Chain A
C-alpha cells in the first residue's frame, strides 16, 4: 500500500534526520485511513521540512516561508472534501507564521498541522529558532540565546485549538497513531513533533528526547479537560507525548451555509445573475 505514496524522487534530508520518521508516520497515516492520494493536499512552508510534498504522492503545495496555514485553510474552504494537511517547521510556523498559527487555532477549520520542531534553523545552517531553549548556542547566538522558547501547545490551547497533541519523530509508530487521530478530528488539529536535527542541534538529540519524554496514554490524563491539558502543556523534563486536548466545537465552516450543500469548487459559475444586486443601486 505504501508504495502508492512514493514519488519519483528520494528525500534529500541528512542521514538520521527526524524528518524521515515524520514522513513515514504521515504516509502511514494516509494509508491507514485509506485516503485516496488525489483527495489529499499537503501544504508545506520553507525549511528542511518544506520539501516534504516532493516525497508524498498526493497533491502538494510548497509555499513561501511561514505561509502554509493561510493557503491550506483557504484550500479547505474552496474544497472541503479534501483532506488538508499542513506541514511546517518551528521557524516557519512559530516565527514567520506565528500570527497565522494563532488565528488558525481560533478559526477552527477542519485540517491538520504538523509542526516539525527541531529547535534550530537547519536549512540556513544552524541559527537559533523560536523553540530553542534559553542559552542555546548557535551561529546566530554564540553567547547563548537570550530569549524564552515559545510554548506552541500552550499558545494553541489559549487560542482555542480543538485538538492539541505532541509526538516524537523517533517513535514513528506512536506518531502515526497520533496523526491518524489528528486527521480524523473534526476541526483544526495541531501536532507538535519533536524532531532531532542531527547536524545543528546537539542538545535535543534522539537520546535526549527518549530520556525526557513520556506517553500520556495510560498516564491517567483526561484529554477532554482543557485545564488538565493546560497543565500538561507546561510540563517539561519530561515532556508529555500524545493527545493533550481534544474537544468538539463549532468550526468556521459551520457558519457558512453557502457551502453546506456543495463545495465551492463544484458550484457552477456560468450563469450568474447580478440584476437583483444592481437593483440595490437604482
Chain B
C-alpha cells in the first residue's frame, strides 16, 4: 500500500437524480470527518428532479484542504453513465464499485469491484432508494473504514427517524460485508482514523450564511426560492420558532426585497437572498434602500447566465451587475466571501455594516461556495459584536432623519418612537424627508450619501496576500476560487513556481491603492475568474489604471486546483 494514499483520497458517487446521491455523499463525507479527516465536497447536477447525471465528490485528507480534486481514487457507479463519464478521471490504482447487472461488462483500466446491488437489495428486502446506502457500506469496507463511523454518520444524517436509520444501517452493513467477504485485495487508499483530531462541523456556504445571519440577530427574512440560495430559506425557516425569526416566502423577489426593506425600516435586522435572475427583479428596490438609507442585507448566489442559463452550475458573472445595479448613484457595500468560514463571518458582518452605514450590503457568493460542504472548526462567536449603528434619542418637533453629517450617517428613528416622526422617501428629499428639487439641497444630499463610501473604505480591511511575499507570479481572485487557488499554490510550488494569491474580499468599496501596490510589486499578475469577460480585471483597471492578464473559465464548473496550477504554469512559461 502506497503510504501517501492513507487518509488522502478522492471518492465520487454518480447516478441518476432521485437515487439519493446527495444524501449518500453527505453521509460519506460526515463519516470521513468523524474519522478525523478534513473533507471538501463538490456536487454537480443538472436542473432536473429525476434522471440526468448527478455526482457527489468527497475529497478527504489529513491536511486541511480548500477545494475539490480532479483524479478520482474510488468511483462509485450507480449507473453505467457514471463509468462512461468518469472512468478516465481515475487515478493510477483507482477502483470502481459497480453493479454488473446495471453497468454490464466494464473494461476500464482500474481495479474493479462488481457488487450485485440489485440482488443485495432483494436479499435484504430493501427499497431501491437504499441502493446508495449499500454503495456506502461497500465504500467503507473498501477504504477499510471501521463500520461504526458509517453507522454514526447515518444516524446523524437521518436523525430522529429511527426506522429509516435502522433500514439504512442494514443496507450499509450488507454492502460492507459483501466487499469484506469477496474482495481480499483492497484499493491503494485507506482511512486510518485520527482519534486526536479536533471536532469539526460539516457545513455548506448556505448553512454558514444562515448561521451567520442568526448569530447577527437577523429577525426577518423574505426569500423567494432560487438555486443556489434556497437552502438559506430552508435553514432559517426551520429555525424561525427557536430563534424568533419571521421567515416568509413572498410572491416574488420584488416582494422579497421590499419586505426586507420594510422590516428593516421598522427596526429589525432583515435579509433577502436570491440569484442573479431574482436580483434582476430586485434592482429597483436596491436603489430605494440606498436613497432612503435603509439598512439591507442581500445574499446573492451567482450561477451562469445569461437568463436562466445553467441553473444548478457555478459562475462569477454578476460582479459588474452587483456593483452597478439600479439607476442613479448611491453607496453600497459588496462582500465576496471565498470559503465557508468567510460566509459565516460575512453574514454576521453584513448586518453590522448595513446598520452602521445605513445602506444595502450585498454578499456575493456563487453556487460552488453555497453548496459545497467543508469540514471546519465550529464557528467561534465569542468575539462577534453587534453594532446597530446610531439611533436618535427621543426629541420633539420635526426629526432630521437625514441630517447632513461629516461621514454621511444620520441617527435613525424607528416607527413607534415618539419624537422621531419622519418620512422615508424614494424621491430626493431634505434632511426631514420632505421632497425637494432645490439644486443646492439635492447636491448636498447626494454628497452626504456618497461620502459614506470614503469612510467605509478606510474601515474595511485591505485584501489579504496568501503565500510568499515575493513570488514569480501573483494570482488575483475573488469569491469561491479562493479554495482552488490556495491548493494550487502548493501544486505550483511542487512544479518549482513560486506563486502568491491576492484575495479581494471587500470588493466594494474597492481598495485601489492596496491592490495597485501589489500589482506594482509583482513580477507577473494573473486575474483568475469564473466568467468570460474578466469582470474583476475590468474593475482593477478602472480603479487602478493598471491592466492585468486574465485566466477565465465559464463552463459552469469550478476551477480545480489542478486546472489552476496548469493554466498558471502555461501562462508563466508562455505556452
Please report the C-alpha to C-alpha distance between residue A165 and residue B554 in the assembled complex, in whole angstroms: 55
Q: Is A78 located at the chain interface by the 8 A CB criterion?
A: yes
The answer, yes or no, to whether A224 is at the interface (CB within 8 Å) is no
A60 within 8 A of B: yes
- Give the contacting residue for A74; candidates B242, B263, B432; CB below 8 A: B263
Contact with A along B215-256 (1 / 0, CB 8 A): 111011010000000000000000111111110101110111
The residues in A between 25 and 62 inclusive whose CB is less than 8 angstroms from any CB of B are: 36-39, 41, 43, 46, 51, 53-54, 57-62
Which residue of B202, B246, B270, B288 contacts A258 across the interface (Cβ within 8 Å)? B246
By the criterion CB–CB under 8 Å, are B379 and A264 in contact?
A: no
Point out the residues of chain A lying under 8 angstroms from B379, CB to CB.
274, 278
> Does B389 have its Cβ within 8 Å of any Cβ on chain A?
no
On chain B, the residues within 8 Å of A8 by CB distance are 398, 432, 434
Bitwise interface map of B from 409 to 425 toward A, beta carbon under 8 Å scored 1, else 0: 00000111111111111
Q: Which of A169-177, A202-210, A265-273 contacts B (4 or more CB under 8 A)?
A: A265-273
CB-contact partner of B268 in A58, A102, A264, under 8 A: A264
Distance, CA A276 to CA B381, complexed state (A): 13
* A37 and B421 contact, CB distance less than 8 A: yes
Contact B378 A41 (CB under 8 A): no
Closest to B261 in A: A71
Q: CB-defined interface of A249-282 with B at 8 Å, one 1/0 digit per residue?
A: 0000000111100001101011011111110011
Decide: A79 and B211 in contact? CB cutoff 8 A: no
A245 to B498, CA, bound (A): 76
Q: Nearest Cβ in chain B — how far from A119, in angstroms?
A: 24
B201 at the interface (CB under 8 A from A): yes
Instruction: Decide if B244 touches A259 in the complex (CB within 8 Å).
Output: yes
- Per-residue CB proximity of B159-203 to A under 8 Å, as 1/0? 000000000000000000000000000000000000000011111
Q: Which residue of B lies closest to A36 (CB)?
A: B418
| Neighbouring A residues of B256 by C-beta, 8 Å | 70
- State A257–B250 Cα separation when bound (angstroms): 19
Shortest Cβ distance from residue A136 to the other chain B in the assembled complex, whole angstroms: 28
How far is the CB of A68 from the nearest CB of chain B, in Å?
9
A253–chain B nearest beta-carbon distance, Å? 9
Contact residue among A7, A74, A256, A259 (Cβ-Cβ distance under 8 Å from B262): A74
Chain B residues with CB under 8 Å of A269's CB are 216-217, 219, 269, 386
For B378, the chain A residues whose CB sits under 8 A away are: 275, 278, 281-282
Q: Which residues of A contact B284 (CB under 8 A)?
A: 64
B56 within 8 A of A: no
Name B201's contact: one of A58, A82, A273, A281 (CB within 8 Å): A281
**What total of A-B pairs shows CB separation below 8 Å?**
194
- The answer to the question of A233 belonging to the interface, with a C-beta cut-off of 8 Å to chain B, is no
Q: Could you say which of B203, B215, B258, B264 has the most chain A C-beta atoms within 10 Å of its C-beta?
A: B258
B341 interfacial by beta-carbon distance below 8 Å: no
CB distance from B254 to the nearest CB of A (A): 7
Is there an interface contact between A265 and B267, defined as CB atoms closer than 8 Å?
yes
Q: Does A9 contact B (CB under 8 A)?
A: yes
Chain A residues within an 8 Å CB radius of B251: 99-100, 102-103
Q: Complex Cα distance A46/B451, Å?
A: 28
A267 and B266 form a contact (CB under 8 A): no
Expressed in whole angstroms, the Cα–Cα distance for A258 and B244 within the complex equals 5
Task: Indicate if the CB atoms of B433 and A264 lie closer than 8 Å.
Answer: no
CB distance from B47 to the nearest CB of A (A): 24
* CB of A63 closer than 8 Å to a CB of B: yes
B262–A71 contact, CB under 8 A?
yes
Assess the B423–A54 pair: CB atoms within 8 A.
yes
The smallest C-beta distance from B458 to any residue of chain A, in angstroms, reads 27
Q: Is A128 interfacial (CB 8 A cutoff)?
A: no
B435 touches A75 (CB 8 A): no
Once the chains bind, are B266 and A75 in contact (CB under 8 Å)?
A: yes
Q: Residue on A with the closest CB to B260?
A: A74
Given contacts A9-B434, A77-B246, A79-B415, contact A67 B285 (CB under 8 A): yes
Q: Is the CB of A265 within 8 A of B246?
A: no
Chain A contacts of B417 at CB under 8 A?
38
In the complex the two chains form, is B269's CB within 8 Å of A61's CB? no
Whether B426 contacts A64 by the Cβ 8 Å rule is: yes
CA distance A248 to B193 in the complex (A): 62
A72 at the B interface (CB under 8 A): yes
A275 to B380 alpha-carbon distance, docked (Å)? 9
Q: Which residues of chain B come closer than 8 Å to A58, judged between CB atoms?
A: 421
Check A272 against B415 for contact (C-beta < 8 Å). Answer: no
Contact status A259-B246, CB under 8 Å: yes
Do residues A257 and B266 form an inter-chain contact, with CB atoms below 8 A?
Answer: no
How many angstroms between the C-alpha atoms of A53 and B241 in the bound complex? 35
Q: How far is the CB of A249 from chain B (nearest CB, A)?
A: 18
A19 interface hit (Cβ, 8 Å): no
Q: Which residues of chain B have C-beta atoms less than 8 A from A227's C-beta?
A: none
Given A74-B270, A99-B251, the answer on whether A62 and B201 have CB atoms closer than 8 Å is no
B201 close to A278 (CB less than 8 A): yes
Q: Does B207 contact A (CB under 8 A)?
A: yes
Which one of B256, B263, B378, B414 has the highest number of Cβ atoms from chain A below 10 Å of its Cβ?
A: B263
CB-contact partner of B415 in A9, A38, A275, under 8 A: A38
Residues A62 and B267 in contact in the complex (CB < 8 Å), given A38-B417, A103-B251 = no
Cα A267 to Cα B220 in complex, Å, equals 12
Whether A74 contacts B222 by the Cβ 8 Å rule is yes
Q: How far is the CA of A257 from the CA of B260 in the complex (A)?
A: 20
Q: Binary interface profile of A, 79-107, with partner B (CB < 8 Å = 1, else 0)?
A: 10110000000000000000110110000
| B156, CB-defined interface residue at 8 Å | yes
A53 to B432, CA, bound (A): 12
Which residues of chain B come closer than 8 Å to A256, judged between CB atoms? 246
CB-CB under 8 A for A62 and B220, given A38-B416, A71-B265: no
**B527 at interface, CB cutoff 8 A:** no
Residue of A nearest to B34 (CB): A282
Interface status of B334 (Cβ within 8 A of chain A)? no
CB distance from A222 to the nearest CB of B (A): 32
A1 to B252: give the CA distance in the assembly, Å.
Answer: 41
Tell yes or no: A223 within 8 A of B by CB. Answer: no
Chain B min CB distance to A61 (Å): 5
Residue B57, interface by CB 8 Å? no
Distance (whole angstroms) from the CB of B140 to the closest CB of chain A: 19
| B residues 126-165 touching A (CB-CB < 8 Å) | 156
* B219 engages A73 (CB within 8 Å): no
What is the distance, in angstroms, from A198's C-beta to the closest C-beta of chain B?
Answer: 22
Determine whether the beta carbon of A79 is less than 8 Å from that of B266.
Answer: yes
> For window 216-266 of chain A, which residues contact chain B by CB distance below 8 Å?
256-259, 264-265
Query: Can you sample 22 A-B contacts with CB below 8 Å?
Result: A38-B418, A54-B434, A59-B421, A64-B426, A72-B262, A74-B220, A74-B258, A78-B219, A82-B266, A82-B416, A100-B255, A259-B244, A264-B268, A269-B217, A270-B386, A274-B381, A275-B378, A277-B211, A278-B379, A281-B201, A281-B203, A282-B199
Please give 13 more A-B residue pairs, beta carbons under 8 A apart, in addition to A70-B222, A71-B259: A54-B435, A59-B420, A62-B423, A62-B424, A64-B284, A75-B415, A78-B264, A259-B246, A269-B269, A272-B214, A272-B217, A277-B211, A281-B378
B residues touching A (Cβ–Cβ < 8 Å)?
A: 156, 199-203, 207, 211, 214-217, 219-220, 222, 239-246, 248, 250-252, 254-256, 258-270, 284-285, 288, 292, 378-379, 381, 386, 398, 414-427, 432-435
Q: Which 3 pairs of residues, A with B, have the shortest CB-CB distance?
A: A269-B217, A71-B262, A74-B262
